Structure 1
């Protein structure tokens, strides 16, 4: 039986996705994913590791038992499957013990970076809720409060005749590291990347409370978004739904002006 509502179970190395949301990469994958209640997905590269079927866990890689963090993930899945559907999963955050390794891969001193930017460390939530789909038809994962706030805000904008597109929501520490690795491969320096992207562990996207927003026909993550009717609407109405623009011009964190980046800051997520 599939999760209702759709909830992503988060662990340090592996995400546990509810069935029916991941795209098949082969005909064999399509047949397996169509029957799966949950899928184990490796965080650092998105590889599918195993599918929970009615008869048990079907490995999708050789030596599934040797995958880092698989024992933790299987225990989390077992606990979730034994929990009654009417009881929401407990809120909580993942530990930060692996973050230092990710920063070392970039030759970044965490203490110096935090002191320079004023950005806090951001832990990943234990559970994320499906908040709909982004512009590219990818599942949009947010915390429960942020998901509700986004859906209500998107609906209110539609009533006013404006369409709001989600570009991205939750990102793991591993995903953030991948952004840096791809840009480094293109010849950018870490210093260049840090003017646009927060270091792994310091992005509001890790919290599941932040999302990037655009409008139909508008390129994603571009300053030109500030000239749209959608941005003007957000400036007026977003705070009423709990969302605030995190990086205005001349912000103290050294992040470039990002009119597209909004974060849900209810009391529950005041730290995000």
Structure 2
């Protein structure tokens, strides 16, 4: 059992995960993860790049030093032993993602009223989501989610998380996968915010569900869980981001709630 709340250390290209929260993808991975304290994981595709243990760094890919972001990731890991001051990641790489999709950040922001959301450098473990994946949020949002869920349980309402923090690179991947299935960027933008503009990047947003209801579907609004959230979520700092006829051009999302403190 993990004795302290684990942290996700978030670099521009690489995330540093607590090894105990990652799943082995084969026998070799299992042996290495069993000995490791942390794993360097490429954000773009989830590839494990290296494990870190008391013996040092063990590369899992050829030419690890040439991987973009490795030096910054190892520096973040060194700082963890000190007082690591959370900060927001710079947005320079984001503009490359938007250019890849044929989007201009300033024009998109003006058209939608959405704001650029920088990624936090440190995210806190907030339990697991419906699919048993680690749920990462900012510290305040993680504490608020636990309180919200306990309050709901006392009232006989079961809440579960569908997803929390997502990186800019992950959001780009959503677009690329949908484009590969024949959807246009304009079609995707009615459902997904452009990379950099999703509240999920901030570590403050949650997609919330309830057992028995399909994830991230409009029918969530017919559940007792949604009715309870409408009444009580604000007490814990959570607010519905995309109600019907919202000014951002995003479809109605009764499942998407953002912590604003």
1:98 is the counterpart of 2:93: yes
CA distance in 2, matches of 1:3, 1:140: 17
SS at match of 1:128: strand
1:199 is the counterpart of 2:186: no
**1:3–1:18 Cα contact (<8 Å) kept:** no
CA distance in 2, matches of 1:199, 1:3: 37
String of CA shifts for 1:59-84, please: whole Å, max 9, x gaps: 0111111101111111111111x32x
> CA offset at residue 4 of structure 1?
2.6
CA distance in 1, matches of 2:175, 2:229: 29
CA distance in 1, matches of 2:231, 2:164: 22
**1:153–1:238 Cα contact (<8 Å) kept:** yes
The aligned residue for residue 169 of structure 1 is 164
CA distance in 2, matches of 1:250, 1:194: 15
The aligned residue for residue 185 of structure 2 is 190
The one of 149, 153, 162 aligned to 1:154: 149
The aligned residue for residue 15 of structure 2 is 15
CA distance in 1, matches of 2:260, 2:229: 15
- The number of equivalent residue pairs is 260
The aligned residue for residue 269 of structure 1 is none
CA distance in 2, matches of 1:15, 1:91: 14
CA distance in 2, matches of 1:34, 1:229: 42
**1:19–1:37 Cα contact (<8 Å) kept:** yes
CA distance in 2, matches of 1:168, 1:174: 16
String of CA shifts for 1:184-238, please: whole Å, max 9, x gaps: 0011110000000000000000000001001101111100000000000000000
SS at match of 1:225: helix
CA distance in 1, matches of 2:100, 2:214: 31
Q: Give the 5 Å matches for 1:111-260.
A: 111-260=106-255
The aligned residue for residue 59 of structure 2 is 59
1:262 is the counterpart of 2:250: no
> CA offset at residue 20 of structure 1?
0.2
**1:140–1:170 Cα contact (<8 Å) kept:** yes
> CA offset at residue 94 of structure 1?
0.4
CA distance in 2, matches of 1:79, 1:140: 23
SS at match of 1:20: helix
String of CA shifts for 1:21-59, please: whole Å, max 9, x gaps: 011000110111111111000000000000001110000
* TM-score, length-scaled by structure 2: 0.98
* TM-score, length-scaled by structure 1: 0.94
CA distance in 2, matches of 1:188, 1:219: 23
The aligned residue for residue 32 of structure 1 is 32
SS at match of 1:124: coil
Deviates more, 1:152-161 or 1:202-211: 152-161
- C-alpha change, 1:69 and 1:156, in structure 2 (3 Å) is same
RMSD over aligned CA atoms reads 1.0
String of CA shifts for 1:230-268, please: whole Å, max 9, x gaps: 0000000000000000000000000000000000001xx
CA distance in 2, matches of 1:190, 1:199: 9
Uncovered stretches (5+) of structure 2, i.e. residues with no partner: none
